[in-house]
Amino acid sequence: MAVKRIVSNLYAPDPRAAHAFYADLLGLQVVMDHGWILTFAAEGQAAMPQVSVASQGGSDTPVPVLSIEVDDADAVYAQARARGVTIVYDITDEPWGVRRFYLRDPFGNVINILSH
C-alpha cells in the first residue's frame, strides 16, 4: 500500500466564495467543481504526500490549517495586503530558512504562505 495524495478539506458554507482567494490571489486552478465542493490545484505534481502534526506553528504562532509554498512570498504578501486580506502573522524570515506570513482565508482559516 502506498499513499498517493493527501487532500485538505476545508469547511465553507459557500465554496464558490473561495475562488477569489485560492484562484485569484494564489493562482490555483479549479480542477473539480460539483457545486458543493471545489478542488483547487497547482500545475505540476507535488513532490510527496505530506501531513504535519504540530503543537504550535513555530515562533510561538498558532498552528495554521494549511501551509502553501509559493515561489515569491513577498509578491503574495503585497497582493494580499492590496486586497485587504487579513494578515495574522507579518512576513518574517524564520531561523529555519523560510520566509513566511499567515493570512486568513474567507472562511476564517489561518493559512501559512511560505517560500524557501
Q: What pLDDT score does 106 carry?
A: 96
Q: What pLDDT score does 1 carry?
A: 79
Contact predicate 88/110, CB 8 Å = yes
The CATH number of 15-43+51-115 is: 3.10.180.10
Structural domain spans, the chain: 15-43+51-115
Q: In the 8-state DSSP scheme, what is residue 31?
A: E
Q: Within the chain, where are the H helices?
A: 73-82
Does the structure show a pLDDT above 80 at 55? yes
CA distance 39 to 9: 9
Q: What pLDDT score does 98 carry?
A: 97
Q: What pLDDT score does 3 carry?
A: 80
**In which band, very low, low, confident or very high, does the pLDDT at 33 lie, cut at 50, 70 and 90?**
very high
**In which band, very low, low, confident or very high, does the pLDDT at 80 lie, cut at 50, 70 and 90?**
very high
